[in-house]
Amino acid sequence: MRKAIFVPIALITFIAPGIQASPSIGRSIQEPQQATKPADKPWWKAKQPAEKQPDSSGPQTKPPFVLKITSDQIIGVSLRAENAKLTDIAADLAKKLKAPVALSPVMQKQRTTIDFADVVLEPAMQLLAPVVYIDYEIDSEPGSHPRPVGIYLSAHNEPAPAINANIRSTSQAFIISGNTESESSSEEDDIQISYRNGKLTLKAKDQPLLDVLSSISDETGVRLEAKDDTIETVSVNIKDIPLDEAILQLSPHLRLYLRADLFRNQRTPILIVLVEPGKKS
């Protein structure tokens, strides 16, 4: 049975994989030591060390790293560092990307010597840490590009950041979560859906978009935020399509939040938002 609960909803405020250039990369990062003592609170919630500002009162010295970001459709990263603190690099990266960058306790202690140019975001982050998670905001509107809304750099055997690590409550809407009981009705005949091994099969003809999205939420467990007054209808016939790709095909008025686990090569949708036309920003 579907549930529709009226509660404050949280909108995520955290790059998409692209084709990596073929730069010459030099790298030397200290092998991370495993954490021996659990943190008082989850590391992704802890206040991250701020970038150390150079002392302008004395003689000017060469900065330990130079970081450049380009963002023409896809995000490119260039970094030259010599025994630089990873905390300083992460702070500068967060400032340039306008997205939080969190380091685990182990990674906060690391220094790096590395040199690469024009590497797209995901492989660039993998050069800095062995385990990387990136949260994305993706609009289904044609011409839109995924935006990182949170980056987490950690070592092996450290806990993964909570799936809602960077969620902030901003509005009220209907939240629809997965089915707790199976049900049989004529609606099930109108919307045929199955979800296996991360792939979605969906067939519907002239069905309300909200009903289709609700069925996806029921079948997959991905949360849905939508208002109950939408009148858009859709016809769709897809088979064995990755869930995130399938969702984005349904309407130009959707926003999808997902987490990319680069170590395990997994992309997990977190939240589907039905956005009113003209309200995207």
pTM of the model: 0.76
Please enumerate in sequence order all residues whose Cβ is within 8 A of that of 10, keeping only pairs 6 or more positions apart, or say none.
164, 167, 168, 169, 170, 271
* Unique residue bearing structure tokens 């959707």: 254
Tokens of 161: 């950041």
H or E element at residue 115 = strand 111-120
Is the Cβ–Cβ distance between 153 and 261 less than 8 Å?
A: no
d(CA 27, CA 112) in angstroms, rounded, equals 8
Is the Cβ–Cβ distance between 142 and 125 less than 8 Å?
A: no
Name the 3-class secondary structure at 228: coil
Each of the 281 residues of the chain gets a pLDDT tens digit; together they read: 444 444 343 333 333 333 344 444 555 555 555 544 555 677 666 666 665 655 555 555 778 999 999 988 899 999 999 999 999 999 999 999 999 999 999 999 999 999 999 999 999 999 999 999 999 999 999 888 999 999 999 999 999 999 877 755 445 455 555 443 444 444 456 899 999 999 999 999 999 999 999 999 999 999 999 887 788 999 999 999 999 999 999 999 999 999 999 999 999 999 999 987 755 55
Which of 158, 163, 131, 164 lies closest to 39, judged by CA? 158
